[in-house]
Chain A
Amino acid sequence: MSILKEGKNYELLNTCNKCGFCVQGCSVYKEHFNEAYGTRGRIRLIKAVANGELERTPLYEKIINSCLMCEECSKNCPSGVQGHLLVQMAREDLVREKGLPFVKKFPLEKVLPNNNLRKLSFHSFRLGKNIIPQTIKGINIKSLNIEKVDFLSSYKPIQKPENPNLKVGFFVGCMMNHTMAQVANSIVGVLTKEGCEVVVPTEQRCCGTPAYVYGHSKVTRESALHNLDIFKDVDVVVTGCASCGNMLKSYGKLFPEDSKERELIEGFSKKVRDITQFLVDDLKISLDNKQSSLKGKVTYHDPCHLVRGQNITEQPRKILQGLKGDEYVEMPGASKCCGASGMFQYFYPEEATAISNKKVENIKKTNADYVVTNCPACYQRIKGSLEINKMPQKVMHIIELLDSK
């Protein structure tokens, strides 16, 4: 039996009342203006597959896979239908019934969960990117920095402070590890300066977001158990990646209710903090005399997996508004998706480019000098799109503003 027909799942599919409010925030719908690409339509089709009215056709797959998983529909739904979870469920069903194509299967199953293969592939990509065109499918390949030596491979433990207040495990995440080693170092530096003992387990593994969103949560479950074990000795797990944080915090749903694993993994999830959340809510850092490392106008982009995934909006703004020396301006549509959404940008370049261009337009309206965000994927996408549009703004990870050397 298809998982779509399973008791609780099927009930969830039947909670949609088709009011249509979900399309209001759906960036993909607004590129098509066709019901099939809005949440209400997607849910109708998933239900049709569950009821046996519709086969899992290539068009159905396209409709199901062309969702950003930005969670706007889930936030807008007055009935509380979690559209993104239903789409994830449909992808899970597709993986089980039809399998994944090689272009997804290989990286999701083999490369990302395997630290050596992952290093090798990023390394090859770094070498290869000089001989390929500037942009592929609207993705600015040239602007993508890939570290010669990734953060985890080069990490040397720094001296812990005397009488540390907390033992913090740093979860760096694949993107930050391979493309923003400097930012990762800053996170360790800032946390240490704030009196934490920071440990960086080098055997930590991909959080599992890519596998999860493409319906291959079996892989994510393995990552979850591995990371649970690796971080068992710390008080808090901090990350500077919105997607990793979102995944680590919601591992529980991957395991059966009342199972031993579920209990353990939920205990782990409770320890997870986004870096801004940790600094503002837990450490309550004082910003009174803190100087920003930037001068000029600064604006902020909310990553989907932070603003909606984790309800974190105020903490980063508190930091940005509190720091001295720069000027914070809010951008219109700050919480709209930037268009990256993992592999979405590669598989749906037309939609992704249009969505990114809207973000660029909104950035333009602020006259900001810097765009700050809190997620390596958004960081790279926005940086690439700004460059393609010949815009002068620099993109920064929020921790870089706090790390005045």
Chain B
Amino acid sequence: MNSKQINYFKTIVDPKNICTTKEELLVYEYDATLLKGAPEVIVFPETTGQVSLILAYAYQENIPVTTRGAGTNLSGGTIPDQGGIALVLTKMNKVLEIDFENRVVVVEPGTINQELQDMLTPHGYYYPPDPASMKACTIGGNVGECSGGPRCLKYGVTRDYILGMEMVLSTGEVVAIGSKQQVNPDPLDIVKFMVGSEGTLGVFTKLFLKIKKISEAKKTMLCTFNSVKDASRTVANIVREGIVPTTLELMDNLLINCAEDFIGLGLDRTADALLLIEVDGLKEELDGQVEVIKKVCEKNNVKGFKIAQSAKEVDQLWTARRTVIGAVARKRPSYSMQDVTVPRNKLPDIVEEIVNISEKYNLPIGVLAHAGDGNLHPLVLFDERNQEEVEKVHEAEFLICKKALSLGGTLSGEHGIGLLKKPFLDQEFAPEVLSLKRQIMLAFDSGNILNPDKILEVGK
């Protein structure tokens, strides 16, 4: 980009919302992955109008635009690897409307997930998608990545909660799609396309979200097992019994120990696997569900079965779960995480393969899984300064992805493709499907300026 172009942006937004210093460019070159790529300018719009003018100009000048929220994403999706503009929406962070009658809220994309929850909780409501980073990440980012979270087994992912949006197209036109209605009769539902589009189809400026009433009661259980196999069989059996817990989270021995180092809850450090199970609903139906779950656990050789007794205990268990990924970093300086998903009865197979791969490459790999929906986050630990080790990590991850696909799974459950999983995409989709996807992307963004070549190489 040249200085004329950069100066033009100063006529659109307050100059304090334009950053070009080396210091600031350096801190927008990364996300939560190990990938890097610096933007040439960082722009913080504050209104839809500004976003529109920025995109219109970027389109005219053919400048790449990478939209970004809190940058907690795990796929390289917000890395401006082609330079251009980092369009950071963190200043568009207002909750515009909370409508309990219609169970809809309208937010700007930079709203922090937890801050929305904090506004809803006193009224007995919540917004179900709960990614581990919810205290930091933005709703706009959640929609861009179609974030899930521990609760999504029962309540679904972000896509199930987006009713509509105001967005800016790559040419700068502002469009509204969907509506605040709970039922969307649109036969070609564009809203569904937008969720999980990773910033390649448009820039959201307002989002209409569904909210839910907080359930009357919940029970949280902590079960430990001597083998991952027993734990994963338990998962499949519980669902088979007809119970859908809000949460069925699995941690392996390495992660149990990391969580214990960080929080110190007195988890069983010798257990090979742990399941965190939560059910919610009406008070009177929960005891029966807990009883069934307990029986299933016992049938699968449960080592320890415990029901959390106080709200504080529940909180601590959840903190342990939400922070365990970072806590892993205590073991080695770097980690890399995959997001493969397999049919839930195939969990033991993929876990077994991961253990083999870990031994083969002599790399510690921890397994964290939203086990209820077969979504695994294998965490490979290494030191990014050791090039040889980095190569091994790439190979190991490739094998994990391949195995997941061979078991009938997919590459990404909830983190998106971004840059990280792009090389594996043709393993999952037929060329015809990829071509369709390309055409859709070009239909929205003919100039290929919006997060160009993320997910797929589009070409022009």
Q: Does B191 contact A (CB under 8 A)?
A: no
Q: Is the interface on chain A under 10, 10 to 19, 20 to 34, or 35 or more residues?
A: 20 to 34
Question: Given the known A-B contacts A33-B93, A80-B262, are A15 and B136 also in contact in the complex, defined by CB atoms under 8 Å?
Answer: no
* Minimal beta-carbon separation of B337 from chain A (angstroms): 10
Whether B23 contacts A57 by the Cβ 8 Å rule is yes
Give the distance in Å from the alpha carbon of A23 to the alpha carbon of B115 in the complex: 13
Q: Does B176 contact A (CB under 8 A)?
A: no
Question: Given the known A-B contacts A24-B135, A34-B44, A60-B23, are A17 and B334 also in contact in the complex, defined by CB atoms under 8 Å?
Answer: yes
Whether A15 contacts B329 by the Cβ 8 Å rule is yes
Whether A17 contacts B21 by the Cβ 8 Å rule is no
Whether B326 contacts A19 by the Cβ 8 Å rule is yes
Question: Given the known A-B contacts A19-B72, A53-B26, are A59 and B21 also in contact in the complex, defined by CB atoms under 8 Å?
Answer: yes
**A325 proximity list for chain B (CB < 8 A):** none
Q: Does B31 contact A (CB under 8 A)?
A: yes
Whether B90 contacts A79 by the Cβ 8 Å rule is no
Q: Does B327 contact A (CB under 8 A)?
A: yes
Whether A21 contacts B23 by the Cβ 8 Å rule is no
Give the distance in Å from the alpha carbon of A22 to the alpha carbon of B70 in the complex: 11
**B71 proximity list for chain A (CB < 8 A):** 20, 35
**A77 proximity list for chain B (CB < 8 A):** 326
Whether B91 contacts A33 by the Cβ 8 Å rule is yes
Interface digits, B122-145 against A, CB 8 Å rule (1 contact, 0 not)?
000000000001011100000000
Q: Does A342 contact B (CB under 8 A)?
A: no
Question: Given the known A-B contacts A20-B136, A36-B27, A44-B26, are A78 and B334 also in contact in the complex, defined by CB atoms under 8 Å?
Answer: no
Q: Does A63 contact B (CB under 8 A)?
A: yes
Q: Kindly identify which residue among B27, B30, B326 contacts A79, using a CB–CB cutoff of 8 Å.
A: B326
Q: Does A322 contact B (CB under 8 A)?
A: no
**B324 proximity list for chain A (CB < 8 A):** 78
Give the distance in Å from the alpha carbon of A59 to the alpha carbon of B19 in the complex: 12
Q: Does A54 contact B (CB under 8 A)?
A: yes
**B27 proximity list for chain A (CB < 8 A):** 35-36, 40-41, 44-45
Q: Which of B42, B326, B329 has the most chain A CB atoms closer than 10 A to its own CB?
A: B326
Interface digits, A77-95 against B, CB 8 Å rule (1 contact, 0 not)?
1111000000000000000
* Minimal beta-carbon separation of B36 from chain A (angstroms): 10
Q: Which of B136, B327, B330 has the most chain A CB atoms closer than 10 A to its own CB?
A: B136
Q: Which residue of A lies closest to B114 (CB)?
A: A24
Q: Kindly identify which residue among B28, B31, B136, B333 contacts A21, using a CB–CB cutoff of 8 Å.
A: B136
Q: Does A285 contact B (CB under 8 A)?
A: no
**B330 proximity list for chain A (CB < 8 A):** 15, 79-80
Q: Which residue of A lies closest to B19 (CB)?
A: A34
Give the distance in Å from the alpha carbon of A59 to the alpha carbon of B20 in the complex: 12
Whether B23 contacts A36 by the Cβ 8 Å rule is yes
Q: Kindly identify which residue among B19, B88, B93, B326 contacts A78, using a CB–CB cutoff of 8 Å.
A: B326
Whether A63 contacts B23 by the Cβ 8 Å rule is yes
Q: Does A48 contact B (CB under 8 A)?
A: yes
Whether A20 contacts B23 by the Cβ 8 Å rule is no
Q: Does B325 contact A (CB under 8 A)?
A: yes
**B42 proximity list for chain A (CB < 8 A):** 34
Give the distance in Å from the alpha carbon of A11 to the alpha carbon of B32 in the complex: 19
Give the distance in Å from the alpha carbon of A57 to the alpha carbon of B11 in the complex: 27
Q: Does B110 contact A (CB under 8 A)?
A: yes
Q: Does A18 contact B (CB under 8 A)?
A: yes
Q: Does A14 contact B (CB under 8 A)?
A: yes
Give the distance in Å from the alpha carbon of A117 to the alpha carbon of B228 in the complex: 67
Q: Is the interface on chain B under 10, 10 to 19, 20 to 34, or 35 or more residues?
A: 35 or more
Total A-B residue contacts, Cβ distance less than 8 Å: 97
Whether A21 contacts B26 by the Cβ 8 Å rule is no
Whether B327 contacts A78 by the Cβ 8 Å rule is yes
Interface digits, A84-122 against B, CB 8 Å rule (1 contact, 0 not)?
000000000000000000000000000000000000000
Give the distance in Å from the alpha carbon of A75 to the alpha carbon of B330 in the complex: 15
Give the distance in Å from the alpha carbon of A24 to the alpha carbon of B70 in the complex: 10
Q: Kindly identify which residue among B19, B30, B327 contacts A18, using a CB–CB cutoff of 8 Å.
A: B30
**A17 proximity list for chain B (CB < 8 A):** 32, 326, 329, 334-335
* Minimal beta-carbon separation of B277 from chain A (angstroms): 22
Question: Given the known A-B contacts A15-B329, A33-B44, are A20 and B72 also in contact in the complex, defined by CB atoms under 8 Å?
Answer: yes
Question: Given the known A-B contacts A33-B44, A33-B90, are A19 and B325 also in contact in the complex, defined by CB atoms under 8 Å?
Answer: yes
**B333 proximity list for chain A (CB < 8 A):** 11, 14-15
**B360 proximity list for chain A (CB < 8 A):** none
* Minimal beta-carbon separation of A39 from chain B (angstroms): 11
Whether B135 contacts A79 by the Cβ 8 Å rule is no
Q: Which of A349-377 contact B (CB under 8 A)?
A: none
Whether A19 contacts B133 by the Cβ 8 Å rule is yes
**A23 proximity list for chain B (CB < 8 A):** 70, 136
Q: Does B24 contact A (CB under 8 A)?
A: yes
Whether A80 contacts B323 by the Cβ 8 Å rule is no
Q: Which of A18, A35, A45 has the most chain B CB atoms closer than 10 A to its own CB?
A: A35
**A45 proximity list for chain B (CB < 8 A):** 23, 26-27
Interface digits, B333-364 against A, CB 8 Å rule (1 contact, 0 not)?
11100000000000000000000000000000
Binding site for A on B (CB under 8 A): 19, 21-24, 26-28, 30-32, 42, 44, 70-72, 88, 90-91, 93, 110, 112, 114, 133, 135-137, 262, 323-330, 333-335, 385
List 3 tightest A-B contacts by C-beta distance, closest first. Answer: A78-B326, A78-B323, A79-B329
Given pairs A36-B19, A44-B30, A78-B323, 19 additional interface contacts (CB within 8 A): A15-B329, A17-B335, A20-B32, A20-B72, A20-B133, A20-B136, A20-B137, A33-B91, A34-B44, A34-B88, A34-B90, A36-B27, A44-B27, A45-B27, A54-B22, A57-B23, A59-B23, A60-B23, A78-B262
17 contacts between A and B (CB under 8 A): A15-B330, A17-B335, A20-B71, A21-B323, A34-B42, A36-B24, A40-B27, A41-B27, A44-B27, A45-B27, A53-B26, A54-B22, A54-B26, A78-B323, A78-B325, A78-B326, A80-B262
